[in-house]
Structure 1
Amino acid sequence: MIPVNTPLLDGNEREYLLECIDSGWISNEGPFVARFEQAFAETVGRKHGVACANGSGALDIAVAAAGIGPGDEVIMPTFTIISPAASVVRAGGVPVLVDSDPVTWNMNLGQIEAKISPRTKAILVVHLYGLPVDMDPLLEIAERHGLIVIEDAAEMHGQTYRGQPCGSFGLMSTFSFYPNKHITCGEGGMVVTDDDDVAEHCRRLRNLCFQPGRRFVHEELGWNYRMTNMQAAIGLAQLERLDAHVQRKRAMGTAYQTALSDTANIQLPLATTDYAENIYWVFGIVLGTNIDQDAAGIMQQLANQAIGTRPFFWPIHEQPVFLNQNLFTNESYPVAETLARRGFYLPSGLGLSTDDLSEVVTALRGCLPATR
């Protein structure tokens, strides 16, 4: 089996974990948490890092710290994992959706201003699959309308926008450290910000909103979203290898691009734009309309050959859990709908070997129409 993701743990992970075990510091109060927070914040050009249990928790914290509440509208892409919308809905807010750009697969910036209303409070930016959103025009829109920007950079470890680190834009940015990310803790997340008060609020929200001097008296509801010292130890070791991981991912993406460039009827990821070079968090493809099968059909063929794949995100406006709440009734976003039905990604983990990549390419080409 060639899995869709194989992590790479070839740095100081074992040494740092043994230090946690030998010292007895395994909880959130251990020293690796603060070390990881500081080092990660510096890497993405932020003043503060707040480590937490996972990327979805980081979004919950960021939405709450931004003051988003009942009736507040938050503009975001429909083509994304459910977490950003779930955080807004749980806070009582209303996700307001835009479609995708068919080339970059990121949110269509041309649709944002038409969605702004007197109730709009924020834009939640989600960078997808290796290329960042074009941030300059988005930030200009937000500034002109007085909107908060929250940047979901979960997939963007080591990526830059016009030379500035992804994760450094807006009031807050969030990251995930799930095993398929460029930096993993197994599970984990991070909120980063330059605002002292926002950072302190995020720390309280992460830790059940305990108060100094009155620990078990609560003025606000938070979560137990603490990161353990052991997770932070792995994260710090992974961060030390980030440049090498980015280089490896880009080499892998280039190899896929070269091998599949003459394959008919599929759309490959955009390699570069004028503001960023693809970091290839994963290597996605979109099937052309003249291929009879959809993504699920081709993925099953690959599974029959012991090759793991994963579908693209399912659009927010088509999620049953939200339709059952009478959200997004009769809304349609055709680009996102096409990406969801005809897009999927190939094995892309840092541990993927050159031989395995070649085997994936051969199998995929065998499932598709003849080359040009």
Structure 2
Amino acid sequence: MSEHSSALFVPLNDLRRNYDANSDAISATVNAVLASGWWLNGERTRIFCEAFANYLGVETCIGVANGTDALEIALRALVATRGTSKDEVVTVANAGGYSTIAARLVGLKPVYADIVEESQLADLDSIVSALGVRTAAVIVTHLYGGVVDVAMLRTKMNEAGFGSVSILEDCAQAHGARLNGRMAGSLADISTFSFYPTKNLGAFGDAGAIVTSDDELAKTCNALRQYGWRDKYSITRPGGRNSRLDEVQAAILAALLPKLDQNNARRIEILKRYTKALPEGVSLVRSPHGSAGHLAILLCDERDRLRRHLTDRRIATDIHYPILDCDQPGWFGLPQGQAPGGLPVSRKSVARLLTIPCFPGATDEEIDKVSEALSEWQP
């Protein structure tokens, strides 16, 4: 490894590069919003939501304050319209806690299904085995940019007698991902997105959205995200909150949306380059159904030693995610369940995960350095 390459620090992400690459468009649109004097519930939010709905191929996009609000409101809408007598939601335990948080806020008991090792996505048969008469909904998380085969899950659920149970897609890590020509976010009854700054489509602050082609769900979510109003000051639905996508963030997202596919292609290119450099005993998490390349996740039995190897070479790493939802100390003693077969793959995987740099602004020199460091590692 050259002296220059050794001195180079490779960040896990560098959000400033996103601004630098789009500074003219972002500055112009933000300044226009600020000068307008209209900063909430305005034209910029309408323009972005319509553009994002068209991009996904869905009828409605509802902007909200963040991705966690989106999950909670969408789940609350499903319960209110389709499952008022049910109190469980089937989800996975390896996706950072967000679906569990939403379930608990709505008053639902999380029931955890296991995952497939190679993709770290939900195991469809484990999901079906976790369904029961109390299941209000299933949340499928398109983790790390990979896509769960929602159509196959729907078929399996129908065949098992659970055709009335709704599916919610958590697309917080899958902006722009596709499955058989359809976009993640258009595959289920309702879907949610986070636009946290590190996402494939990221705002410059918190932002989120709910998307659906179901008119009743759309109307319910639209009411719940603003106090439960039917008309101004007339609260007709319980469980409402104040959750708005502000005009500045909507304008930024509208400016960045046209580059989403291009940026995702760069992420996939980076993943392919890493794949060629993988040493024995290390694999890269890959979805069999396509990916948006949100994160580059390694699986390694000697994860901590590999992490030190990369740190010594000035390469940033992280772990997404180090604790399963079912083991979080803050939820100890609260109601939860698991699929009949338990969570053996989830438990095996959690100690093997390692995140390495993968973002569209990464330079070829940085990716070469990570690839070289991987190829040099010996188990």
Task: State TM-score, norm by structure 2.
Answer: 0.88
Distance 1:52 1:296, change over 3 A: farther
Q: Does residue 340 in structure 1 map to residue 353 in structure 2?
A: no
Shift of 1:55: 0.9
Q: Per the alignment, do residues 299 and 222 of structure 1 end up closer, same or farther by CA in structure 2, a change over 3 Å counting? A: farther
> Equivalent residues in 2 for 1:15-34 (5 A)?
15-25=28-38, 27-34=39-46
1:318 aligns with 2:327: yes
- Structure 2 counterpart of 1:198: 217
Question: Deviation at 1:99?
Answer: 0.8
Distance 1:268 1:213, change over 3 A: closer
- Tell me, yes or no, if structure 1 residue 285 matches structure 2 residue 301: no
| Structure 2 CA distance for aligned equivalents of residues 343 and 69 of structure 1 | 38
Trace 1:254-273 onto structure 2 (pairs within 5 A): 254-260=272-278, 263-270=279-286, 273=288
- Show the counterpart of 2:67: 55
Query: Structure 1: how far apart are the matches of 2:335 and 2:216?
Result: 36
| 1:127 CA drift (Å) | 1.0
Residue 6 of structure 1 corresponds to which residue in structure 2? 14
The alpha-carbon deviation at position 176 of structure 1 amounts to: 1.1
CA distance in 1, matches of 2:241, 2:305: 41
Q: How many angstroms apart in 2 are the aligned matches of 1:138 and 1:348? A: 29
Partner residue in 2 for 1:237? 255
Query: Which residue pairs with 2:113 in the alignment?
Result: 98
Q: Please report how far the alpha carbon of residue 236 of structure 1 lies from its aligned counterpart in structure 2 after TM superposition.
A: 0.6
How far 1:134 sits from its partner (Å)?
1.9
Gap change, CA 1:32 and 1:108, over 3 Å in 2 = same
- Write the deviation string for residues 284-304 of structure 1: whole angstroms up to 9, x where unpaired: 10003xx3xxx3453344334
| Aligned equivalent of 1:168 | 186
Inter-partner Cα distance in structure 2 for 1:220 and 1:42: 30
Distance in 2, matches of 1:44 and 1:169, equals 10
Q: Give, in whole Å, the separation in 1 of the partners of 2:190 and 2:47.
A: 20
Q: Which runs of 5+ in 1 are unaligned?
A: none
Q: State how far apart, in whole Å, the 2-side matches of 1:127 and 1:214 are.
A: 37
Q: Kindly provide the CA deviation profile for residues 60-92 of structure 1, in whole angstroms up to 9, marking residues without a partner as x.
A: 111111116685111112221201111111211
Q: How far has the Cα of 1:254 moved from its partner?
A: 1.4
* Contact 1:36–1:233 (8 Å) recurs in 2: yes
Report the identity percentage: 26
SS in structure 1 of the partner of residue 62 of structure 2: strand
C-alpha distance in structure 1 between counterparts of 2:358 and 2:274, whole Å? 10
Letter in 1 for 2:34: I
Question: How far apart, CA to CA, are the structure 1 residues paired with 2:219 and 2:86?
Answer: 25
Matched, 1:41 2:53: yes
Total equivalences in the alignment: 357
1:326 CA displacement? 4.8
Question: Does the CA-based 8 Å contact 1:5-1:350 persist in structure 2?
Answer: no
| TM-superposition CA deviations, 1:235-288 (whole Å, max 9, x none) | 11111111211221111111212232xx11111233x63xx3333111110003
* Paired AA for residue 264 in structure 1: E
Match of 1:327 among 328, 336, 352: 336
1:182 aligns to what SS in structure 2?
coil
Q: Name the structure 1 match of 2:128.
A: 113
- Check the 8 A contact 1:156/1:281 in 2, yes or no: yes
Q: Give the match's secondary structure for 2:139.
A: strand
Give the superposed CA RMSD: 2.2
- Give the secondary-structure state (helix, strand or coil) at the position aligned to 1:310: coil
Q: Distance between the aligned counterparts of 1:213 and 1:80, measured in 2?
A: 37
Q: Is the 8 A contact 2:273 2:371 kept in 1?
A: no
Alpha-carbon distance change, 28 to 300 in structure 1, aligned in 2, over 3 angstroms = farther
In the TM superposition, residue 210 of structure 1 has moved relative to its aligned partner by 3.2
Q: CA deviation at 1:219?
A: 4.4
What's the counterpart of residue 361 of structure 1?
A: 371
CA gap 1:171/1:136 in 2 versus in 1, 3 angstroms: closer
How far apart are residue 22 of structure 1 and its match? 2.1
Q: Which TM-score applies when normalising by structure 1? A: 0.89
Contact 2:150 2:188 in 1 (8 A): no
Give the 4+ runs in structure 1 shifted more than 4 A.
68-71, 328-332
Structure that is richer in helix per residue: 2
CA separation of 1:33 and 1:296: change in aligned 2, threshold 3 A: farther
- Tell me, yes or no, if structure 1 residue 127 matches structure 2 residue 142: yes
User: Residue 182 of structure 1 aligns with which residue?
Assistant: 200
Query: What is the alpha-carbon distance in structure 2 between the residues aligned to residue 59 and residue 120 of structure 1?
Result: 17
Q: Distance in 2 between matches of 1:331 and 1:305?
A: 41
* Residue identity in the other structure for 2:280: A
Taking the aligned partners of 1:356 and 1:60, their CA distance within structure 2 comes to: 38
Deviation string, structure 1 residues 1-43 (Cα, Å, up to 9, x no partner): 4221223233422221121122222x22231111111110111
Tell me, yes or no, if the aligned pair for 1:69 and 1:91 is still in contact at 8 Å.
no
